[in-house]
Chain A
């Protein structure tokens, strides 16, 4: 009869600071949010402790919330797909360039993070606005007499999202491409592949983990946003996060805000679980480290 392995507590001792931090800073607040979702908002900013499902019933039966979820996931998919296309090219360039100071290119990539997210978003008003740079050039070249309206619509919101989140995609794809053996593509070429076939059959499949990790980050960050539509969007451009803002800040209805927050967390959690099931989270760790 095999002897049972003795329980070794030492790894748990070592892990305990991290586990405590996660318990207090992540799990406990989420539990608070869940508990709050059962409370009743009796007046603006006045909540009553209760255990009832009124807020959840509203969420599940009111098409207003369902429409916002649909709009949010639709926008997240659009931004993710565009960021994947637009991000792959610079990532490929950085990974394969012979430029000796590659660190400089990577520095340029993270340089925008030094400027406030809100200011970066607002800068598009001065680029795409009626009196912005693009319209200024078009009018100066005589291509149009009147400014072309580009702001305060879905297009402007998508541009704002891609501008802010593209570096996450590029970095993830870059890390993935950097890990591919440089000899594989020439080897495929010597076996008769065209350059496009070599990329499609060798490089692209091997870089998919990075592409998927970047896509996950861009998707989750987009779906959780609310400021970009406020600054760059029109009245039809809002995401689920804007409903949470309305409930918590405008209506001072924290129980409903907690219900909506937990719902968004749950839905995005499902996306992460699906990703983890198929891709694992290792690639994310690599890129983020």
Chain B
């Protein structure tokens, strides 16, 4: 048993959010889960912890929902069966949350591998002293990773890597095709999020100041990687705030809001939209000009059992595993398509770059964005609350 009660509840909630279960079954299962947790939860948790003590435990924290499901099914379960080690996976609310916990605890107990987002966070983990030193000789599958993805991380830590790049995607704009036509959506671009006719049916990601500012920059006609007028950016963010129903805070919530037609338009993560489309929901998606792209790594925290962590990363980067995970989570893998043959499904994923050079995608410039983060993040938290 690898999940605690909270994790089981999260999964139940996400299955409901993703539309894989009807409301009546959800309520029935909820009641049963409560009963089971109340009567037997404590005993079972104790027993399962004792059972887990046999192999090495690796604690993984990620984005939850279909991403966690894809990793569990295609990477963690086969890895556990092959090695006898255990991967205990959990969902975080964001990497800030993990960093806060680590700082408060003063140790990495219960935290080993983070599904980390982008170079900015890679640099933050390094700057805060959590950078492990990966021995790439133990990860032969790293040779298949795109050089374009590895290069920015090597620039931060030239002597070693602390993470294995794993996937990439875009944060574009999702819209319900029942209410917004493809032609209108693409014609309006980033300004679709400011369409007054859709007031109360627009959403936005509340979890990342830079994401909001990126779109504020696009809407105010600025280069997101060279913002000169921050007041104009926040004015656009305020305008957007006045039109939205809700700032969503997780991928599962994003999918729930779109699937249940609580919102018709929002910026969205490409993989989550692809998952909604695969479920048959009438959701369109496009990346506006200079739309935001990002890459994710499996960051290993300093002090983790390195041999087992490297073994896991090598297992995860194996083409068959990496492609299976990509098909499950709907984000293209970091493997180079010129070295590894991708499946048709992967080739059809949003943001997939067949060249392996990622030239067509615009990523955050960590130098530009990190230097203003302290002040602008504070600003975002205020604007978000109506200031």
Residues of A bordering B, CB below 8 Å: 43-45, 64, 68, 111-112, 114-116, 118-119, 122-123, 125-126, 129-133, 136, 147, 149, 151-152, 230, 233-236, 238, 242-243, 246, 248-254
Report the nearest B residue to A135, measured CB to CB. B260
Contacts A115-B34, A119-B30 given; indicate if A44 touches B124 (C-beta within 8 A). Answer: yes
Contacts A45-B128, A235-B384 given; indicate if A125 touches B256 (C-beta within 8 A). Answer: yes
How many angstroms from the CA of A245 to the CA of B23 in the assembled complex?
A: 32
Q: Which of A45, A123, A133, A253 contacts B99 (CB 8 A)?
A: A45
The residues in B between 83 and 113 inclusive whose CB is less than 8 angstroms from any CB of A are 93-94, 96-97, 99-100, 103
Q: Which residues of A contact B235 (CB under 8 A)?
A: none
The residues in B between 4 and 45 inclusive whose CB is less than 8 angstroms from any CB of A are 5-6, 9, 12-13, 16, 23, 26-27, 30, 33-35, 37-38
How many angstroms from the CA of A113 to the CA of B34 in the assembled complex?
A: 9
The residues in B between 102 and 151 inclusive whose CB is less than 8 angstroms from any CB of A are 103, 124, 128
A152 touches B30 (CB 8 A): no
Residue with the highest number of chain A CB atoms closer than 10 Å, among B27, B96, B99, B249: B96
Q: Is B70 an interface residue (CB 8 A)?
A: no
A126 touches B23 (CB 8 A): yes
Report the nearest B residue to A44, measured CB to CB. B374
Q: List 22 A-B contacts (CB under 8 A).
A: A44-B124, A45-B103, A64-B387, A68-B385, A112-B34, A114-B35, A115-B30, A116-B9, A119-B9, A126-B16, A131-B261, A234-B245, A234-B246, A235-B244, A236-B385, A236-B386, A243-B385, A246-B381, A249-B93, A249-B96, A249-B100, A252-B99
Report the nearest B residue to A42, measured CB to CB. B374
A250 touches B377 (CB 8 A): yes
Q: Which residues of B contact A246 (CB under 8 A)?
A: 381
| A-B interface, 6 closest residue pairs, ranked by CB to CB distance from nearest | A114-B38, A115-B34, A246-B381, A152-B246, A114-B34, A131-B260
B249 touches A230 (CB 8 A): yes
Residue with the highest number of chain B CB atoms closer than 10 Å, among A131, A136, A235, A236: A235
Contacts A114-B35, A129-B262 given; indicate if A149 touches B96 (C-beta within 8 A). Answer: no
A151 touches B262 (CB 8 A): yes
Q: Which of B6, B34, B245, B381 contacts A250 (CB 8 A)?
A: B381
Contacts A115-B37, A126-B16 given; indicate if A133 touches B23 (C-beta within 8 A). Answer: yes
Report the nearest B residue to A136, measured CB to CB. B23
- Chain B contact residues, majority secondary structure: helix
Q: Which of B249, B262, B381 contacts A152 (CB 8 A)?
A: B262
Q: Which of B12, B246, B260, B373 contacts A44 (CB 8 A)?
A: B373
Q: Which of A111, A123, A133, A250 contacts B30 (CB 8 A)?
A: A123
Q: Is B302 an interface residue (CB 8 A)?
A: no
Q: Which of B245, B374, B377, B385 contacts A238 (CB 8 A)?
A: B385
B262 touches A130 (CB 8 A): yes
How many angstroms from the CA of A115 to the CA of B34 in the assembled complex?
A: 5
B382 touches A64 (CB 8 A): yes
Shortest CB-to-CB span from B179 to chain A, Å, is 12
Residue with the highest number of chain A CB atoms closer than 10 Å, among B23, B35, B373: B23
How many angstroms from the CA of A230 to the CA of B247 in the assembled complex?
A: 9
Q: Which residues of B contact A230 (CB under 8 A)?
A: 249
How many angstroms from the CA of A233 to the CA of B27 in the assembled complex?
A: 22
How many angstroms from the CA of A147 to the CA of B260 in the assembled complex?
A: 11
Q: Which residues of A contact B152 (CB under 8 A)?
A: none
Report the nearest A residue to B102, measured CB to CB. A45
Interface string of B198-225 (1 = CB under 8 A from A): 0010000000010000000000000000
B246 touches A126 (CB 8 A): no
Q: Is B236 an interface residue (CB 8 A)?
A: no
A126 touches B27 (CB 8 A): yes
How many angstroms from the CA of A284 to the CA of B294 in the assembled complex?
A: 53
How many angstroms from the CA of A254 to the CA of B104 in the assembled complex?
A: 10
The residues in B between 327 and 381 inclusive whose CB is less than 8 angstroms from any CB of A are 373-374, 377-378, 381
